């Protein structure tokens, strides 16, 4: 089973690229971020025509996440628990049946948090606290759980092209990296790092200043796996070639294969 995450940067503007990629990559489950549309605006017919179920948690103009799946979800939960006043659409969870058991797949769009020293950075850190609490509660189920998405976290220095450029950015602050490590300390595994020692590896290249051409990228799109999911992990791919397509997202898909049987 192939599970992928991709920050699509506007699904309405990117529908042709998304359809082309789905046909080529053939993922079983896709976590999308930054769909930038309300649920009614999602181009679901084009996706359903390829045999995918579509579950969205949209928002007008910004944010928005979705889960596309070849198999029908048994359950969908929208929104990250822990703050009823949070009205930003950044989290959706799907539960699927495989081998008679359940797997949980979450599509998350972690707040950017810039600039540091503002409410936006505090919101990022509190959102990460809520994510850790959610992850810890789900661990008790002892099920395969995949927390996939745009974390807006540069976890290690070799995950960016120049630490000097990022040292004052919310994505690389000590508090940000510490909060990310809390997930690892709970028992979650970074799927890409579990399957390769290669560095640098990037998943995002800014549209500006020729960053793609110069390979000035950062690795911020992650699949974090519970122990039960890590046990089933086979391989990962950062589908970098998609960044060179016409009208690309600034992020590329990141995929992991598991030996779950449907």
Partner DNA sequence: ATGTCTCCACGTTGGAGA
Q: Which residues are catalytic?
A: 109, 150
The site that binds DNA (CB under 7 A) totals a number of residues, namely: 22
- What the block records as the tokens of 125 is 């850190």
Distance of CA 79 to the CA centre of its chain: 15
158 binds DNA (CB under 7 A): no
Contact string (CB under 7 A) for DNA, positions 108-137, x = contact: ---xx-x-----x-----------------
247 binding DNA? (CB under 7 A)? yes
Contact with DNA (CB under 7 A) among 2, 10, 71, 227: 10
CA dist 143 and 104 (Å) reads 7
Under 8 Å between Cβ of 246 and 19? no
Of 19, 41, 239, 260, the one binding DNA by CB under 7 A: 41
Distance between CA atoms of residues 129 and 248, nearest Å: 32
Compute the 3-state secondary structure of the chain and give helix, strand, coil in percent, each to the nearest 5: 30, 25, 40
Q: Which of 36/222 has CB closer to DNA?
A: 36
For DNA, the binding residue among 49, 140, 209, 261 (CB under 7 A) is: 209
> Is 25 or 114 the residue whose CB approaches DNA more closely?
114
Binding mask 83-112 for DNA (x = CB under 7 A): ----------------------------xx
Dihedral sign for Cα 239, 19, 42, 104, please: negative
Residue 174: CA count within 13 A, CB half-sphere: 0
Interacting residue ranges for DNA, rule: CB under 7 A: 9-14, 36-38, 41, 60-62, 111-112, 114, 120, 207-210, 247
């Amino acid at each position: 089973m192939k599970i992928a995450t991709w920050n699509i940067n506007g699904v309405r503007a990117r529908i042709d690229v998304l359809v082309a990629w789905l046909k080529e990559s053939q993922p079983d489950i896709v976590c999308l971020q930054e769909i930038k549309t309300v649920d009614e605006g999602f181009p679901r017919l084009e996706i359903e025509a390829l045999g995918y179920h579509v579950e969205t948690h949209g928002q007008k103009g910004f944010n928005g996440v979705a889960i596309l799946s070849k198999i029908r979800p048994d359950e969908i939960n929208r929104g990250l628990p822990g703050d009823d006043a949070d009205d930003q659409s950044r989290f959706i969870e799907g539960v699927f049946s495989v081998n008679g058991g359940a797997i949980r797949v979450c599509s998350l769009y972690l707040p950017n948090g810039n600039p540091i020293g503002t409410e936006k950075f505090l919101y990022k850190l509190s959102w990460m606290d809520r994510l850790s609490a959610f992850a810890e509660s789900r661990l008790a189920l002892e099920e395969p759980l995949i927390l996939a998405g745009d974390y807006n976290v540069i976890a290690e220095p070799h995950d960016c092209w120049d630490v000097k450029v990022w040292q004052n950015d919310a994505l690389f602050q000590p508090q940000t990296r510490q909060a990310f490590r809390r997930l690892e300390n709970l028992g979650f595994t970074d799927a890409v790092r579990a399957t390769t020692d290669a560095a640098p590896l990037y998943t995002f290249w800014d549209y500006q200043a020729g960053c793609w051409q110069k390979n000035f990228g950062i690795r911020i799109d992650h699949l974090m796996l519970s122990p039960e999911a890590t046990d089933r992990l086979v391989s990962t791919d950062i589908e970098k070639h998609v960044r060179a397509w016409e009208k690309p997202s600034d992020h590329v898909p990141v995929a992991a294969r598991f030996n779950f049987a449907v």
